[in-house]
Amino acid sequence: MARFILRRLLLSLITLGIILVIVTLIPNIAPGDPARKIAGGTASPERLMNVRESLGLDDSVLTQLKDLGGSVITLDFGDSFTKPGESAMGLVLAALWKSTKLVVFSLALVVPLSVAGGMLAAFKKDTWIDRTIVNTGLALSSIPEFVAGVILLTVLAVPYGFFKVGANAPDGASQLTVAQHLLLPALVILTVYFGYIARVTRAGTIAALDSDYARTAFMKGISTRDVFLKHVFRNALQPTVAVIGTQLGYLFGGMVGLEIVFNYPGLGKLIFNAADSADYPLLRTGVLTVAVIYMFATLAADLIIAWMNPRARVLTEGGGS
Amino acid sequence: MTDTVDTATDQAALAINGLEMSYVVRGTPREVLRGVTFSVQPGEAYGLVGESGCGKSTTAYAALRYLPGNGLITEGSIVADGLTLTDMSSAELREFRARRASMVYQDPVQAMNPVTKVGDQVAEAFTILGQSKDQALASALEALERVKIAAPESVMDRYPYQLSGGMLQRVVIAMALACDPTLLVLDEPTTGLDATVEAEVLDLVRDLRRELNSAVLLIAHNLGVIRTMCDRVGVMYAGRIVEEGTVTDVFDNPSHPYTKGLLNSIPRHGIRKGDRELFAIPGNLPQIGDALPTCVYVERCPVATEICSTEVPPVVERTVGGHWTRCHHPDRIDQVPDPEEVSIDHTVGTEEIIGVRGVSKTFRQRGNDVPALVSIEMGFAEGETLGLVGESGSGKSTLAKTMTGVHPPDEGGAITLRGREMKGKATERVEESIRAIQMVFQNPDSALNRAWTVRRILMRAVTKLTGLKGAEAEERAIEIATSMRLSERHLDMRPRQLSGGLKQRVAIARAFAGDPEVVVCDEPTSALDVSVQAAILNLLAQLQREERTSYLFISHDIGVVRYLADRIAVMYVGRIMELGTTEQLFDGPVHPYTEALLSAVPSVDGTASNRIPLEGDIPSPANPPPGCVFHTRCQYVIEGTCDVVVPEEVDVGGGHRILCHLPVDQLPVPVELTAKT
Q: Encode burial over B553-577: b for 16+ CB neighbours within 10 A, e otherwise.
A: bbbbbbbbbbbbbbbbbbbbbbbbb
Residues A50 and A107 grouped into a single domain: no
**Alpha-carbon span B85 to B96, nearest angstrom:** 9
Query: What count of Cα atoms within 13 Å lies in the side-chain half-sphere of residue A133?
Result: 26
Please, are residues B520 and B555 in contact by the beta-carbon 8 Å criterion?
Answer: no
Please, are residues A225 and B94 in contact by the beta-carbon 8 Å criterion?
Answer: no
Percent of chain B with pLDDT over 90: 23
* pLDDT score of B3: 37
**Alpha-carbon span B93 to A219, nearest angstrom:** 10
**Alpha-carbon span B156 to B178, nearest angstrom:** 15
* pLDDT score of B607: 58
CATH code assigned at A225: 1.10.3720.10
**Chain B residues inside the 8 Å CB shell of A211:** 110
Are the Cβ atoms of B112 and A216 closer than 8 angstroms? yes
Nearest-10 crossing angle of helices B530-547, B500-512: 20
The pLDDT mean for chain B works out to 86
Q: Establish if A240 belongs to a structural domain.
A: yes
**Chain B residues inside the 8 Å CB shell of A309:** 114-115
* pLDDT score of B442: 82
* A103-138 per-position pLDDT tens digit: 999 999 999 999 999 999 999 888 899 999 999 999
Smallest Cβ–Cβ distance between B159 and the set A213, A231, A310 belongs to A310
Helix, strand, coil tally for chain B in percent (to 5) = 35, 20, 45
Q: Establish if A82 belongs to a structural domain.
A: no
Are the Cβ atoms of B99 and A221 closer than 8 angstroms? yes
Residue of chain B nearest A313, judged by CA positions = B115
Are the Cβ atoms of B97 and A220 closer than 8 angstroms? yes
Residue A57 has pLDDT above 80, yes or no: no
Q: Which of A127, A206, A212, A216 to probe by mutation at the B interface, max B CB count within 10 Å?
A: A216
* A90-100 per-position pLDDT tens digit: 888 989 998 99
227-286 in B: which are within 8 Å (CB) of A? Answer: none
* pLDDT score of A159: 80
Predicted ipTM of the assembly: 0.81
Beta strands in chain A (DSSP E): none
**Among A74, A98, A129, which residue terminates a domain?**
A74
User: Which of A84-88, A122-126, B470-474 bottoms out in mean pLDDT, i.e. has the lowest?
Assistant: A84-88
Q: Establish if A285 belongs to a structural domain.
A: yes
Helix, strand, coil tally for chain A in percent (to 5) = 75, 0, 25
Please, are residues A282 and A82 in contact by the beta-carbon 8 Å criterion?
Answer: yes
**Residue B112 forms contact with A (CB below 8 Å):** yes
Residue A320 has pLDDT above 70, yes or no: no
**Chain B residues inside the 8 Å CB shell of A216:** 105, 111-113, 172, 175
* pLDDT score of B111: 92
Are the Cβ atoms of A216 and B124 closer than 8 angstroms? no
Residue B298 has pLDDT above 90, yes or no: no
* pLDDT score of B60: 92
* B177-190 per-position pLDDT tens digit: 888 899 999 998 88
Beta strands in A101-234 (DSSP E): none
Residue B639 has pLDDT above 50, yes or no: yes
Alpha helices in B362-410 (DSSP H): 396-404
Are the Cβ atoms of B114 and A219 closer than 8 angstroms? no
pLDDT mean over B623-645 = 88
pLDDT mean over B551-560 = 89
Instruction: Write the CA distances from B477 to B19, B486, B515, integer angstroms.
Output: 48, 11, 12
* pLDDT score of A319: 41
* pLDDT score of B620: 82
Smallest Cβ–Cβ distance between A212 and the set B69, B97, B107 belongs to B107
Residues A136 and A6 grouped into a single domain: no
**Alpha-carbon span B499 to B503, nearest angstrom:** 6
User: Which of A221-235, B186-200, B240-254 bottoms out in mean pLDDT, i.e. has the lowest?
Assistant: B186-200
**Chain B residues inside the 8 Å CB shell of A311:** 114-115, 159, 161
Backbone angles phi, psi at B634, to 5 degrees: -90, 135
| CATH 3.40.50.300 placement within chain B | 352-568
Handedness of CA B183, B187, B190, B193 (dihedral sign): negative
**Chain B residues inside the 8 Å CB shell of A231:** 113, 116
pLDDT mean over A187-197 = 92
**Interface size, chain A vs chain B, as Cβ–Cβ contacts under 8 Å:** 70
Do you find a cis peptide bond into B589, omega within 30 degrees of 0? yes
**Among A74, A102, A123, which residue terminates a domain?**
A74
Residues A230 and A158 grouped into a single domain: yes
| Chain A residues with at least one Cβ partner in B under 8 Å | 125, 211-213, 215-223, 230-231, 234-235, 308-311, 314, 319-320
Which residues are registered as beta bridge partners of B187?
B219
Are the Cβ atoms of B161 and A314 closer than 8 angstroms? yes
Which residues are registered as beta bridge partners of B572?
B575
Distance from the B69 Cα atom to the nearest Cα atom in chain A, whole angstroms: 10
Are the Cβ atoms of B112 and A235 closer than 8 angstroms? no
Smallest Cβ–Cβ distance between A219 and the set B103, B113, B115 belongs to B103
pLDDT mean over B643-647 = 89
* pLDDT score of B4: 38
* pLDDT score of A9: 84
Distance from the A114 Cα atom to the nearest Cα atom in chain B, whole angstroms: 24
**Alpha-carbon span B553 to B521, nearest angstrom:** 5
Are the Cβ atoms of A221 and B124 closer than 8 angstroms? no
Residue B2 has pLDDT above 50, yes or no: no
Residues A220 and A304 grouped into a single domain: yes
pLDDT mean over B391-406 = 88
* pLDDT score of A318: 47
* A238-287 per-position pLDDT tens digit: 999 999 998 888 888 888 888 888 888 889 889 888 888 878 888 888 88
Q: Which of A213, A233, A234 to probe by mutation at the B interface, max B CB count within 10 Å?
A: A213
SS3 labels along B68-110 = CCCEEEEEEEEEECCEEHHHCCHHHHHHHHHHCEEEECCCHHH
Residue A24 has pLDDT above 50, yes or no: yes
Residue of chain A nearest B106, judged by CA positions = A212
pLDDT mean over A198-210 = 93
**Chain A residues inside the 8 Å CB shell of B89:** none
Residue B196 has pLDDT above 90, yes or no: no
Cα torsion for B667, B673, B675, B677, to the nearest 10°? Answer: -120
**Alpha-carbon span B413 to B376, nearest angstrom:** 9
pLDDT mean over B455-481 = 87
Residues A58 and A126 grouped into a single domain: no
Q: Name, in order, each residue with C-beta under 8 angstroms of A11's C-beta and a sequence gap of 6 or more.
A: none
**Chain B residues inside the 8 Å CB shell of A3:** none
How many structural domains comprise chain A? 2
Residue B195 has pLDDT above 90, yes or no: no
**Among A74, A104, A120, which residue terminates a domain?**
A74
* pLDDT score of A137: 92
**Alpha-carbon span A100 to A95, nearest angstrom:** 9
**Residue B115 forms contact with A (CB below 8 Å):** yes
Smallest Cβ–Cβ distance between B110 and the set A212, A219, A311 belongs to A212
45-104 in B: which are within 8 Å (CB) of A? Answer: 64, 66, 69, 94-99, 102-103
**What amino acid occupies position B108?**
P
* B410-460 per-position pLDDT tens digit: 888 888 888 888 888 888 888 888 888 888 888 888 888 888 988 999 998
* pLDDT score of A244: 92
Smallest Cβ–Cβ distance between A220 and the set B105, B125, B161 belongs to B125
**Residue B128 forms contact with A (CB below 8 Å):** yes
162-201 in B: which are within 8 Å (CB) of A? Answer: 172, 175
**Alpha-carbon span B457 to B502, nearest angstrom:** 14
Tell me which residue of B529, B623, B567, B586 sits closest to B286, measured CA to CA. Answer: B529
* pLDDT score of B676: 40
Please, are residues A157 and A163 in contact by the beta-carbon 8 Å criterion?
Answer: yes
How many CB atoms sit inside 10 A of residue B640's CB?
9
Residues A101 and A175 grouped into a single domain: yes
**Chain A residues inside the 8 Å CB shell of B115:** 234-235, 308-311
* pLDDT score of B137: 94
Residue B345 has pLDDT above 70, yes or no: no
Please, are residues B298 and B311 in contact by the beta-carbon 8 Å criterion?
Answer: no
Are the Cβ atoms of A212 and B111 closer than 8 angstroms? yes
Q: What letter would DSSP give residue B337?
A: P
Residue A205 has pLDDT above 90, yes or no: yes
Residues A113 and A201 grouped into a single domain: yes
Residue B156 has pLDDT above 60, yes or no: yes
Q: Establish if A81 belongs to a structural domain.
A: no
**Alpha-carbon span B240 to B20, nearest angstrom:** 9
Residue A39 has pLDDT above 80, yes or no: no
Residues A246 and A132 grouped into a single domain: yes
C-alpha of A58 from chain center: 34
**Chain A residues inside the 8 Å CB shell of B366:** 319-320
Are the Cβ atoms of B114 and A314 closer than 8 angstroms? no
* B13-40 per-position pLDDT tens digit: 899 999 999 988 888 888 889 989 999 9
pLDDT mean over B393-417 = 88
* pLDDT score of A213: 93
**Alpha-carbon span A186 to A99, nearest angstrom:** 12
* pLDDT score of A302: 87
According to DSSP, the β-strands at B45-49 and B215-220 are parallel
* pLDDT score of B126: 93
Rg (CA), chain B: 26
Residue A225 burial by Cβ neighbours in a 10 Å radius (0-12, 13-18, 19+): exposed
**Alpha-carbon span A267 to A292, nearest angstrom:** 13
Instruction: Name the more confident of A47 and B504.
Output: B504
How many CB atoms sit inside 10 A of residue B306's CB?
8
Q: Which domain holds residue A151?
A: 88-316
**Residue B125 forms contact with A (CB below 8 Å):** yes
**Phi-psi region for residue B573, left (φ > 0), alpha (ψ -120 to 50) or beta?**
left
Please, are residues A220 and B97 in contact by the beta-carbon 8 Å criterion?
Answer: yes
Which CB contacts under 8 angstroms, 24+ apart, belong to A162-165? A165/A262
* pLDDT score of B243: 93
Residues A240 and A289 grouped into a single domain: yes
Tell me which residue of B628, B658, B657, B661 sits closest to B643, measured CA to CA. Answer: B628
**Alpha-carbon span B397 to B476, nearest angstrom:** 30
Residue of chain A nearest B175, judged by CA positions = A220
A176 confidence band (pLDDT: 50, 70, 90): confident
Q: Name, in order, each residue with C-beta under 8 angstroms of B64's C-beta and a sequence gap of 6 or more.
A: A219, B85, B96, B97, B101, B103, B185
* B570-579 per-position pLDDT tens digit: 999 999 999 9
Let me know if domain B352-568 sits in CATH 3.40.50.300: yes
* B53-89 per-position pLDDT tens digit: 888 889 999 999 998 878 889 999 999 888 888 888 8
Are the Cβ atoms of A216 and B175 closer than 8 angstroms? yes
Please, are residues B246 and B69 in contact by the beta-carbon 8 Å criterion?
Answer: no
Handedness of CA A64, A65, A68, A69 (dihedral sign): negative
Percent of chain A with pLDDT over 70: 92
